[in-house]
Structures are given as structure tokens and as C-alpha cells.
Amino acid sequence: MNVYDLILKKRNGGCLSKEEITYLIMGYTNGQIPDYQMSAFLMAVYFRGMNPQETLDLTMAMADSGERLDLSGIEGIKVDKHSTGGVGDKTSLILGPMLAVLGIPVAKMSGRGLGHTGGTIDKLESIEGFRTSLSKEAFINNVNQIKLAIVGQTANLAPADKKIYALRDVTATVDNMSLIASSIMSKKLAAGADVLVLDVKTGTGAFMKTQEEAEQLARTMVQIGTMAGKKTYAVITDMNEPLGTMVGNALEVQEAISVLQGKGEARLTEVVYTLAAYMVLGAKRAATIEEAKKMLQETITSGAALRKFAEFVEAQGGNPEYIYHPELFPQAAWKEPVYPKADGYLVGCENQQVGMASLILGGGRVTKDSVIDLTVGIQLNKHLGDDVTTTEPFAYIYGNDRQKIEEAKERLQGAYRIEREYQAPQAVIRSVITEE
């Protein structure tokens, strides 16, 4: 095969075969195809698009470019969840223990955050002793024993995606649906779960700013998953404001504990129950979403989900006392109130700016080598639709640097729009995409 001919074929609107796509992906991954030719191919895809079969073949080629996690040693139907990312998203920490109580195995590989907050792995590292790296044997054993393990993503999982994404990032070819969907799904398919539930965010704090874009991405990913033989659901959720009340690593783990105690903020709780219910449905443990939600509710009211979280932490070397005594978590030096600049109702939020406030405090990474301050973050006392006054804090900032606290405070105040007239906030669950 000739790379030039394949670029020309796609540039002219042709469809590539599975063999041709595999040749391109493997050739680029192993260094035989140079950056300039892959850049040309990506630009051709950007303008000409890919049909569903090409998108699937691209996804599978990237999934096959490195190690594929073999979960056959785990009993039962394995479920996994992926989020497209957002501010305050700590759902994995909550739904994992709930599903494990129901006997549904959750074998999850998570990444570290690059941006305004840490990823699931960073958050878990705020627990003393917690190990985010396990041997394959220990990983599978933990899932079989307690039905839950969460570890850091291995470097050799879909290496083609990592290399291609870096190229897309500097060649203005990021925002193409086939390329976005195949990037996400290649890693999820390589991770080996039987059932995938995708949390696709939309709004000011999401990659997909409009619901139409979010639904297009969701449909593409569900189609890939289904064609690959995986039961796949996508839930479109609102990210026009942070999810829950806490933004920051140790703070978000504490909020997750609060939800497991039955004291969670309403929007966060609704997202958790919806995502988890589709995972229960996919695992064939319930016939309807309503039945699944009742089963999940019982894991909270009985206290079993909280106990399971502590068991999971202990199984990975962490101190389980943190789960029962959240005051043990590392604390920031200062907790500073943030007052709104006017009286009225919170009617809008530039959610990305809330994330930037957390980043200023040190709660995220500017580069992959940045060191995260696990103690800093933001507590939100008010949400969209709530009334505020200049005499009452609508948020608190946790920080260790006075100058950074003041910068973050200003950024946070500027993130919210306040008006005299009440406006109802968007529903947090926008829609659900399935192949059924």
C-alpha cells in the first residue's frame, strides 16, 4: 500500500477499507509514516468525514495498537463509565461502590486530569496510602473479591490515540466527530468492559457546547460501541455549572462520601443514579430504569455503599478511616468567603471560569508534569436559579496562597451572571441515546 494514494483517496471523498485504515494507524504508531503525511490524512478526514464503518475501523485499529486489557478472569458482566469531562465531576467515586454492592463488577482504568481539576486517580490519591497502580493479578483479584477496582491507565493502552491526538492538537483537526468519537472509544474498548455508559457533557463547562453537538457525538460513540459488540448507552448531561457543591480533589472525595451517606446535592445525585441505573440495566440486573434506581437507592439507605467504598480504599492500600472520618483529609490553610457582586438570582455561569479559578489555586495541571495541590478548591453554596445577596457568601475558596486566593475569588465572581428576574435552570439530564 502507498500512503500517498490513501491520502488522495480520502481527499477525493473515497471510503477506506479496514486494511487501509489499519495500515495507516499501525504505520504511524511504529514510526514508519511521518507526521506530515498523517497530518494530511487527518485534514482530509476533517473535511471529507468518515462513514460509520470507517469510524469503527479507525477505532478498532487504535484500540489494537497496544495492550488490550483481558478481563475474562473476572466473573460476571463487566461495566464501565466514561465522562467527556467537566467541572466537579466525581461520579465514578460514587457509582462504583453502589454497583459493587449489587454484585456488578467495575474494573475501571482512569486517567489523571490535565486542566482545571485532577482526574479520578488524582482525587483518590488524597486518601492516605491509596495505591493507584496494581498488578494485573491484583486488579482482577480485587474485582472478583469486592467487585471494584480503579487504577491509573497504562501507558500502552491505545498508544496510537495518544500519538494521533497530539498531532490533531497542533493541526486544527481536533473537532471532527469521527476523530473525537474514535479517540474516546478506542481507549474504552481496549479497557475490556462488556457494557459502556457514556456521560456526554454539554454546556459552558463542556467540550460540546451545544446539545446538538453532544447528541451527535453520543450517537457516533453508541454506534461504535454497538458495532463492536458492546452494550452501549449515552446520557447527555448539563455542564452549565459545576456538578455538585465541591470543585477540587480532596474536597470532591469528601463530597462523594456525603452522597454515599445519602446527603448529596440534588443535581449530582440525579446524574449518579441515572448513569448507574443504565449500568445496572446493561448488566441485566434489572428490567427497567425505575427498578435499577430503587436497587441503587437501597445501597445508600442501608449504608452498604459507604462500607463498600471503605473496603475498596483498604483493598488498594488506603486508610479506610478517611471514609468514616473525612476530617482526616488534608486541609488547605485558609477558607475564604466569596460574596456576589449584586443582589438577585444566579441565572448564568461561565463554568470554564469556575474551573480556571480552581486551576489558579493549584487544583489542576497546566502541563502533564505539573504538581497538583490536593487540598485546594471551591465550595459552592448556591446554584443556578438560587437567590443571592451581597451580604451572604455564595461560595468559599480553600487555598494555601493569599495572592492565588484573591485571583481565584475575582475569577469566580466574574463567572456568574446575576439578574433581578428569576430564570429556571436547565434540567441536568438532557437526553439518553441508545441503539434500541
- Residue 284 backbone zone (phi > 0: left; psi -120 to 50: alpha; other: beta): left
270 residue type, one letter:
E
The residues, ordered by sequence, that sit 6+ positions from 96 with a Cβ below 8 Å of its Cβ are 106, 108, 148, 150, 309, 312
DSSP summary character for residue 428: S
Residue pair 359/366 in contact (Cβ under 8 Å)? The answer is yes
Residue pair 14/49 in contact (Cβ under 8 Å)? The answer is no
430 residue type, one letter:
R
Q: How many residues does the chain have?
A: 436
Separation between Cα atoms, residue 252 and residue 268, nearest integer Å: 11
Helix (H, G, I), strand (E, B) or coil at 266: helix
Helix (H, G, I), strand (E, B) or coil at 351: helix
Separation between Cα atoms, residue 394 and residue 415, nearest integer Å: 12
Separation between Cα atoms, residue 95 and residue 90, nearest integer Å: 9
Provide the angle, in degrees to the nearest 10, between the axes of the packed helices 402-415 and 351-361: 180
The residues, ordered by sequence, that sit 6+ positions from 410 with a Cβ below 8 Å of its Cβ are none
Specify the DSSP element, H or E, that contains 35: helix 35-48
Residue pair 74/110 in contact (Cβ under 8 Å)? The answer is no
Strands 416-419 and 148-152: unpaired
Cell numbers representing residue 105 in the block: 463488577
Residue pair 239/350 in contact (Cβ under 8 Å)? The answer is no
Residue pair 309/272 in contact (Cβ under 8 Å)? The answer is no
Separation between Cα atoms, residue 365 and residue 339, nearest integer Å: 27
Separation between Cα atoms, residue 88 and residue 94, nearest integer Å: 13
Separation between Cα atoms, residue 127 and residue 257, nearest integer Å: 12
DSSP summary character for residue 260: H
**Which are the catalytic amino acids?**
82, 161, 168, 183, 187
Residue pair 427/238 in contact (Cβ under 8 Å)? The answer is yes
Residue pair 323/306 in contact (Cβ under 8 Å)? The answer is yes
